[in-house]
Structure 1
Amino acid sequence: MTDLDLLATFLEIYRSGSITAAATRRGITQPAVSGQLARLEKSLGEPLFVRGSRGVTATPRADELARRVGPHVDQLRTALDPAPALDGTVRIGGAAEFMTARGLPALAPLTQRGIRFEITLGLANDLLTALRSGQLDIVLSAVRPGAGLTVTPLTDEEFLLVGPPLLARTVDQALLAEDPARALEHLPLVAYSDELPIIRRYWRSEFGKRPKNPTAVVVPDLRALLAAVIAGAGVSALPRYLVESALTAGAVELLHRPEVPPLNTLYLATRTSTTHVVVNAVVAHLKSRDWGVL
């Protein structure tokens, strides 16, 4: 990682007043942004921000640094990009939640090179069918694509079991350590569908059984699931990138801490016959990013 990367991350934090917002704008994880900031502060020998419940506040040293380096970093990031201009449209499919939080911020810099994007949001199997039929050029899929496509593992989603603080207080901690499924089975679930796809996978992975919990809410949108959890409707298993801000704010709490966090791989899929220069440029851009664990 170059010093330019550290300064670019610093400027995003400074301008947005939030580590979470900076992560979204940079297209990387919040822990990665925090790590970059820590490296820069260590190099300078003093803190640049004061952390608070509503974000970060710049120190006088940060104000000075932003004034000195801001215009130059902006110019250098453009000048040092050797990539030629491109002209064309790329059709990309992905889950609405991932594309909103991570996918679109990662793709945004390519628009400055002349690429136009048409984004289709939907379920993985439907998007992969559209890819095979030629309606899409690239799919970012949480389901491993089958034969006939070129597939690259892109990153891993880490799933957390979270609930509102009031419900978290009802969990018997002694029983949780001994028999977690039983300790949690009184909690109502907020689920993506009646089949409980994400929750069922979490229960089987961590507890070796299906959940016996009642279902309170079913809604096919992970962002809506988080909103329902925050409002107190129940508990759910959700990707870290989606719940991290709510955890930091105390709006939700972890209900279970597995020794090895359950992960789900996100894949980048294209048609094997793809030779389009612009599509290949987008694929290369996505593969080169440091996504970390989401």
Structure 2
Amino acid sequence: MRHRESDGEEEPGRAAPGRGLPSREPAQGASALDLNLVRTFLAVYRSGSFTSAAHLLGISQPTVTTQVKALERQSGRPLFARLPRGVAPTPYAQDLAARVAGPLDALLAATGHDPAEEVSASPVHLAGPAELLCTRVLPALAPLVADGVQLRVTTGLTDPLLEELRAGRHDLVIATSRPRGRTLAAVPLLDEEFVLVAAPALAERLGGRVTTEGPGALHGVPLITYAEDLPIARRYWRHVFDQRLSRRAAVTVPDLRGVLAAVVGGAGFTVLPRYLCQDELASGALAPLHETDDPPINTAYLAQRPGTPAHPHVTLVRDRLLALAPTW
């Protein structure tokens, strides 16, 4: 767990033996000191914490604090904002990291201080929607875990998770929308196709009327959904029926697996991503209420911070997800 960092100015501490450069003193001149300051800055940027950076570099936390403050004085810009747990980089720090990370990593690797070696044994911090992580992502990553990859998984909504990614708390985030700005790199991961479904008994009672009469055939049928504002259902109505959905949910469950369970049990109808309910559709536990050649599609993205070191296990997780997700 990351702790709140001290806000006060601290004196440099003696460098502990470890993986850091052998000296933090300016005996070789300003350029040698500047290189160490930048390396310390990158460690804080990548780990999201002064304490974690000190552990990576093999120096004390007061030394990390002092060196970051020294770089802030040299640049004339603040680099980090304090958070309840760790720190968040300022826009200037994000730009600085993007510019210096590659050259500094190459220099350190050439001199026997490979950044990849410092992080290769650390867990991969992965975050995203609970439903996708639990039903598709974790089974897909099981072989990597068996081969020694460690995972720390966080579930949540996209916007808060992306802010935590920017602050260094995650290595990879599966986002349900493309991250804005230049501070994160994102690639398309998979397309979610949405389907209108109900239990077979309800579908038989409706008898295809949704297709022939439109959504009015569902009047009086309970709607089961993810949230009070009906985000997925509203999108389906707008895209497929070209209508505004104006009704209240009978049941809301902030987990689509709960929505799925309620609908399979016969509580009503809903709109779900196909990946989540394709087994139930195949087995007959669910039935589609309306087939369309143009279903609503939502693209999910795999996001990470640019300028981070080549953590081999992060690369393994990323490559496996990109290879398998299109088949879900």
**Greater RCO, 1 or 2 (C-alpha within 8 Å, sep 6+):** 1
Per-residue CA deviations over 1:147-170 (Å, capped at 9, x if unaligned) read 121000011111111011232234
When residues 238 and 272 of structure 1 are mapped into structure 2, their CA distance, relative to the original with a 3 A threshold, is same
Per-residue CA deviations over 1:99-139 (Å, capped at 9, x if unaligned) read 11111122222224432110001111121111111111100
**Equivalent-residue separation in structure 2 for 1:206 and 1:179 (angstroms):** 13
**Equivalent-residue separation in structure 1 for 2:179 and 2:168 (angstroms):** 15
Out of 102, 119, 141, the position equivalent to 2:175 is 141
Q: Which has the larger displacement, 267-276 or 131-140?
A: 267-276
Task: Name 1:191's counterpart in structure 2.
Answer: 225
- Give the residue type in structure 2 aligned to 1:258: T
Task: Name 1:249's counterpart in structure 2.
Answer: 283
Asked if the contact 1:155/1:265 (under 8 Å) is kept, the reply is: yes
Aligned-residue identity in percent: 43
Asked if the contact 1:185/1:212 (under 8 Å) is kept, the reply is: no
When residues 155 and 237 of structure 1 are mapped into structure 2, their CA distance, relative to the original with a 3 A threshold, is same
**1:156 maps to 2:188:** no
Segments of 5+ residues of structure 2 without an aligned counterpart are 1-119
Q: Work out which of the two has the higher radius of gyration on C-alpha atoms and give 1 or 2.
A: 2
Task: Name 2:37's counterpart in structure 1.
Answer: none
Task: Name 1:233's counterpart in structure 2.
Answer: 267
Task: Name 2:75's counterpart in structure 1.
Answer: none
Shift of 1:284: 2.6
Out of 303, 307, 313, the position equivalent to 1:273 is 307
Task: Name 1:55's counterpart in structure 2.
Answer: none
Asked if the contact 2:140/2:324 (under 8 Å) is kept, the reply is: no
Shift of 1:256: 0.6
**Equivalent-residue separation in structure 1 for 2:177 and 2:294 (angstroms):** 21
Shift of 1:293: 5.2
Shift of 1:190: 0.4
Asked if the contact 1:185/1:211 (under 8 Å) is kept, the reply is: no
Compute the RMSD of aligned alpha carbons. 1.8
Asked if the contact 2:197/2:269 (under 8 Å) is kept, the reply is: yes
Asked if the contact 1:87/1:114 (under 8 Å) is kept, the reply is: no
**Equivalent-residue separation in structure 1 for 2:170 and 2:248 (angstroms):** 39
Task: Name 2:202's counterpart in structure 1.
Answer: 167
Runs of 4+ with >6 A deviation: none
Task: Name 1:118's counterpart in structure 2.
Answer: 152
- Give the residue type in structure 1 aligned to 2:165: L
Asked if the contact 1:158/1:293 (under 8 Å) is kept, the reply is: no
How many aligned positions are there? Answer: 207
Segments of 5+ residues of structure 1 without an aligned counterpart are 1-85
Q: Report SS of the residue matched to 2:324.
A: coil
Asked if the contact 1:186/1:213 (under 8 Å) is kept, the reply is: no
Asked if the contact 1:152/1:268 (under 8 Å) is kept, the reply is: yes
TM-score (norm 2): 0.59
Asked if the contact 2:189/2:300 (under 8 Å) is kept, the reply is: yes
TM-score (norm 1): 0.66
Q: Report SS of the residue matched to 2:246.
A: coil
